[in-house]
Structure 1
């Protein structure tokens, strides 16, 4: 926005800091000393934003980088680090847990690859000596340094090395200070041109990245199979040379896979299923053709006539014996 003639010394407890983008355009930053809250103290935020040397900024430019903010406050003192509000939304402990889990998985794969058995393993297994292979490295796609575009009106915390630097940063400037542009990251239209090129890497780079990623995935799957308690298709043999067999559900299986022994209940279920299937197929074949349907109907009519004749003979026999009383 255009620079106004005079700026107030304080706006809602914030000190205006004019920034000169050009000779005619000025941007206003609003700053104050950071003060912790009870909620922040309970979560341990004081260690992240120490009071007395942390500057709270409002209306940070959406394309500002950490290096530009450090250069802007270089005249006030040495800046230890800059934390944007969008970067602090994800807690650090989650990242730590993820890294620990990844390292734990790698250790588990490494122990399995060395052929060592876990202590809590109940059933014996054959020890196999294998050499631990290094994980294939994933070739990353080319990624040029780009700016992180944030929403307008974002905030940031600037942590200085001492409290005197914070006091100098909050002093109202006599005139707008120029905004330092980071030359390492494209600015303006060059940023979008670099982003367009980064989203369309060359095919050779994409092929190398895909091949390295698949090689790493296959390596992880191989390590997982080696780390599994029982390997599929490999039976577990005890010290006397006998194959260990156990009953599991409808099947009896050897430990680790291999040949399975069907149980009696499973065999009975299979035989009953086959008998029902054969009966159904036979029933469908009896009335499959048209002549079969006609023969079936003709036989039903003949059977009805024969039964009627038999019933008629029974009635005549009852009449002769004078035992028939129709009314």
Structure 2
């Protein structure tokens, strides 16, 4: 790669021996200078083609090994959010964020103009970075987002088993609701005994034994069994609401009939003059 016009080529050397070329030159502002820019124009350097994995702290530590850096500034472009692999610390998260930062240019204000001259004479600078290695971090991020085939298979099988179990439970619930809402020929809905733990009938219609059973054997000679059987066989009076209404209607009709009969008897007594109330 040819050197851009007006720039000084400086090599950044990593711990593993890899090098990366950057280009530096004294910054010259084309706009009207302010009081601050006028006081720093002779000690401001423009650096371009920086490694994409270096953050501001790494840049400051790297150049402080050669010169004294007062401040660093670069445009704050929006960084896309990245899901980090498990086990990365905060420095590593900030490090990976810079993978998507296209801004590789900085303006550095040095402590003095002599630092600027010293920097422009440098040929190599060792990178002082607290971040993890670029290739290893990218490899770790790649592996974390692509699990092993066996892990994907186990997850899929467990998901399908749970899905089938939920579908079967939903089917049984719908069948149970349909049976509960089924209306008989006389227009009434059958009320079934649920038991202590609710309905326990399976698909074959097998019910859980009630307290009447003792080890699966019924003692028909016991007094308790005869009493419960006699009570069970008795008709259920006033079980339905319409039965209670019919009984009340019959009682009122009987009272009305009795009142009319008593009234007729009183009239007969008056006619035969045998009515003596006192």
Name the TM-score class by shorter chain.
Answer: 0.3 to 0.5
Q: Which has the larger radius of gyration?
A: 2
Q: Normalising by the residue count of structure 1, what TM-score does the alignment of the two structures yield?
A: 0.33
Q: More helix per residue: 1 or 2?
A: 2
Of structures 1 and 2, the one scoring higher in RCO (CA 8 A, sep 6+) is 1
TM-score (norm 2): 0.38
